[in-house]
Chain A
Amino acid sequence: MRLDNLKSSKYSNMRSSVVNSFFALVFSLVLGAVFIWVTGYSPFETYKAIFGLSFSTIKGFALTLSQATPLMFTGIAFALAYKVKMINTGAEGQLYAGAMAAALVGAYVTNLPGIVHIPLALLVAFIAGGIIAGLVAIARVYTGASEIILTLMLNNVIILFTSYLANGPLKPEGSGVGQTERIADSARLMRLVPQTQLTIALLIVIAVAIIIQFMLDRTVFGYELKVTGNNRRAAEVAGINVSKISILTFALSGAIAGMGGAAMVLGVNYRFIEGFSSGYGFAGISIAALAAYSPFGVIPAAFLIGILRAGTITLSRTTSIPIEFVDVIQVLVIIFVAAPTMIRQILNIFKRITGKKKKNEIAGGEVQ
C-alpha cells in the first residue's frame, strides 16, 4: 500500500516535471518569437529555417544529433552535480581539460589498436575532468568556498592555459591557428552516418546516461547521494559520509564533462583547437534544467536544444537573421523551468482568458 503510494507519487512528480518542461520550452519559443518579431525579423521564417533542417534530410538529422552529443555530456554533468545540490558551472573548463588530455593521448601515444587507443583517450579525459572538479569539491567541502565562483574562475584559467599550450609548446610547425598535432587514425571515433560528424560518441553518451541513471536508482551510492542532496543534515545523522559523497559526485560530474571534450576531439576536430567550444558547458545548464535534472532526461532535452543549435547553421546560410536569438531562447528555458509557479500563473491567466471567451460565445449564441 505504502509502496504503491510512493510509486504513484514518483510517477506524478515525473509527469508534472515533464509538463513543466514542456510549457517552459513552449513559452521560451513563444517569447523568443515575440522578441524576434519586435526586432524586425520574421519569427515564422526563423523557426522554419531552424526546424526545417533537422527533419528534412537524414544528414540534417545526423547533424542535429552530432550537435547534441557534447551537450548531452555537459547536461548529464550539471544534472548529476545538482543531485547533491552543487552547481557545476565549470563544465566548460572541464570540457577543455578533457579535450586537451584526449588530444595529447590521441597524438602522442601511437602504435595502439583503436580498441585500446579510444578507451585510453576517453579515460584520460575522464580523469582530467574528474581531478579538476574533485579539487573544486574538496575546496568546497573543507573551506566552504563557493563551487560556482571557483569553477567559473577555473574555466578562465583552463581555457587560457590550454590556449597557451596550443599556441606555444604544442603547436605543430607551420600552423597558423592555435591547435595541437592531429591525432592518430586509431584514436578516431567511428562514424554512424557517413560524411557527417555523427560518431559513436552518441552511443557512448547514451551509455553514460543509462549508467548514471542506474547508479542513482539502484545502488547504495546513488541512494546516499540522493539523501545527501535532499537533506544534508538528515544524511549526516543517518551516518552517510556527506563530504565523501559530495566530492565523488562532483568529481564524476567533471569527469563526464571531460569526456565530452574528448568526444569533440576524437570524433569531430581530430585535434585540440583553441576556442572549439561554442558554449557547450553553459548550454548544459539549460539542458539539465529542461530535463528536470534527470540524467536520462538529458538525452531528449539535449536533442531538442540540438535542433535549435543545428538550426543556426541553416539560419545563417539562408537568412540574415542573427543566430544569437537561439542563445537567448536557451536562457529563457532555464528561467521558465526554474520557476514552475511562474508557469502555473501564466497558464491560469490563459485559462481565465479562454474561459471568458467561451462564456462570451455562449452569451453571443443566446442573443442570436
Chain B
Amino acid sequence: MIDFDTGLVISILASTLRRTVPLLLAATGGAFSMRSGVIDLGLEGMMLAGSFFSVMGAWMTGSPWIGLLFGVVFGIIFSMLHAVMHINYKVNGSISGMAVNLLAAAMTPLLLTIVYGLSGKSEIVTSFSNFDPEWLMGIPFLGPILGSQNVIFFIAMALVIISWIFMFKTTLGLRMRMVGENPHAASAVGLNVKAYKYFGVAMSGALAGLGGAYLSLGQMGMFVKDMTAGRGYIAVVINAFGRYNPFGALAGSAFFGFFDALQTIFQSVFPSQLVMMTPYVVTILVIVFGLKGGRSPAGTGKHVEE
C-alpha cells in the first residue's frame, strides 16, 4: 500500500514538474502555431524527432548542449514539412500535421536501426544532471522539489514568460495574432502572411523539439522507440485548454503532469495497463467536457491568394 507522508508528496510534486516540462514546451510551441493560424497537429512528430535527434547529437559530440541544439533544429526541420505542405501546397492542416507525425514515427525506428544497429532503443548518452545547489536544497519543501529538476526545466519556465511577452506585448506578436485571426485583413495592411505562418510553425517545431529532447536527453539519457507516446497530441489538447496562451499552457500542463505523475505512484498497487490509461482518459474527459466555449483563432487553416 501507499503511505502518504511529506516525502511522498514531495516526490509526487517533483515528478509532476518533470512531467509538466515536455507537455509545456510542446503546448507553448503549439500556441505559436495556432496563433499564426496553422493547426498544431504535428506536435507529436516534431517532439519525437526532437527526442531522437537530440540523443543522436549528444552521442556524436558527447555534449548534451549540442544534443539539445540538434533536438531544436530537427524539430524545426520536421515542422517545415508541415509548413510547406499546408502553407504552400494548401494541404489540409490535419493531414499535413499527421504526415509529420507518421513520418517521425517511421523514420526514428529506421534511424535507430541504421545508426545504433539496435532495434527499440539507442545507446545511453551523457544527459543533464539535476540542478541542486546547496542553498536551494536548504529550503524546506520547495528545495527538494526544484532541486530534482534539471536545467531544461528552468529554460522552459523562462521560455513560457518570453513567449507570452512576445505574443501579447510586442508588435510582432500582435501582427502574428492578426494573421491568425484574419489573414485577409493582415494581407491587406501589407503583412507577409506566409512569413508569419512559417514563423509560427517553426517556433512550434523548435519548442516541441526541445520538449522531445527533455524526454530523451533530459530524463533517461537515451531514446526509446515511440518515446513521446502521444504526449504531442496531449499537448494539442492542453493548448486548446489553455486558450492558446503560454500561461494557459502552463496551467494545463501542470494539470496533466499531475495525473501523469500519479500513475507512476499507483503502478505498484493496480495493474500497470489500467494505471497507464489515466492520462489518456483524463485527456478524453477534458476534450469532451472541458473545452466548451473555447474557440481557435478565426483564421485557422485559411489561405491568402496572391
Q: Enumerate chain A interface residues (CB-CB to B < 8 A).
A: 39-40, 87, 89, 139, 143-146, 148-150, 152-154, 156-157, 160-161, 163-164, 167-168, 282, 285, 322, 324-325, 327-328, 330-331, 334-335, 338-339, 341-342
Contacts and interface: CB of A to CB of B under 8 A. Distances in A.
Given A145-B288, A328-B110, A334 B277 contact: no
B15 to A, nearest CB: 20
Nearest to B234: A153
B273 A164 contact: yes
Contacts of A334: 95, 98-99, 102
Given A153-B230, A160-B276, A143 B291 contact: yes
A157 B285 CA distance: 12
Interface residues of B, number: 41
A139 B85 CA distance: 29
Q: Which of B107, B271, B284 gathers most chain A CB within 10 Å?
A: B284
A156 B106 contact: no
A16 B109 CA distance: 35
A161 B274 contact: yes
B91 A339 contact: yes
B237 A149 contact: yes
25 contacts: A40-B114, A139-B287, A143-B289, A148-B98, A150-B287, A152-B230, A153-B234, A153-B280, A153-B281, A153-B283, A154-B284, A156-B229, A156-B230, A160-B276, A160-B280, A161-B277, A164-B274, A282-B105, A322-B114, A324-B106, A327-B105, A327-B110, A328-B107, A334-B95, A339-B89
A144 B240 CA distance: 12
B257 to A, nearest CB: 16
A282 B277 CA distance: 21
Interface in B58-101: 81, 85, 89-92, 94-96, 98-99
A341 B109 CA distance: 30
B115 to A, nearest CB: 9
B271 to A, nearest CB: 5
Contact of B271 (A144, A168, A282, A339): A168
Given A160-B273, A164-B271, 10 more contacts: A87-B95, A148-B98, A153-B230, A156-B230, A157-B280, A285-B98, A325-B110, A328-B103, A338-B95, A342-B85
B233 A149 contact: yes
A282 B102 contact: yes
Given A282-B102, A331-B102, A146 B287 contact: yes
B236 interface: yes
A324 B237 CA distance: 30
B99 A324 contact: no
Interface in B283-306: 283-284, 287-289, 291-292
Contact of B284 (A144, A150, A163, A167): A150
A341 B87 CA distance: 13
Contacts of A285: 98, 102
Contacts of B287: 139, 143, 145-146, 149-150, 153
Contact of A327 (B85, B109, B229, B283): B109
Nearest to A168: B271
B300 to A, nearest CB: 12
Contacts of B94: 87, 148
Contacts of A146: 236, 287
Contact of A139 (B89, B114, B229, B288): B288
A253 B8 CA distance: 46
A334 B106 CA distance: 13
B41 interface: yes
B113 interface: yes
Interface string B112-146: 01100000000000000000000000000000000
A157 B263 CA distance: 14
Contact of A163 (B99, B107, B273, B289): B273
Nearest to B44: A152
Contacts of B233: 149, 152-153
Nearest to B110: A324
Contacts of A328: 103, 106-107, 110
Contacts of A152: 230, 233
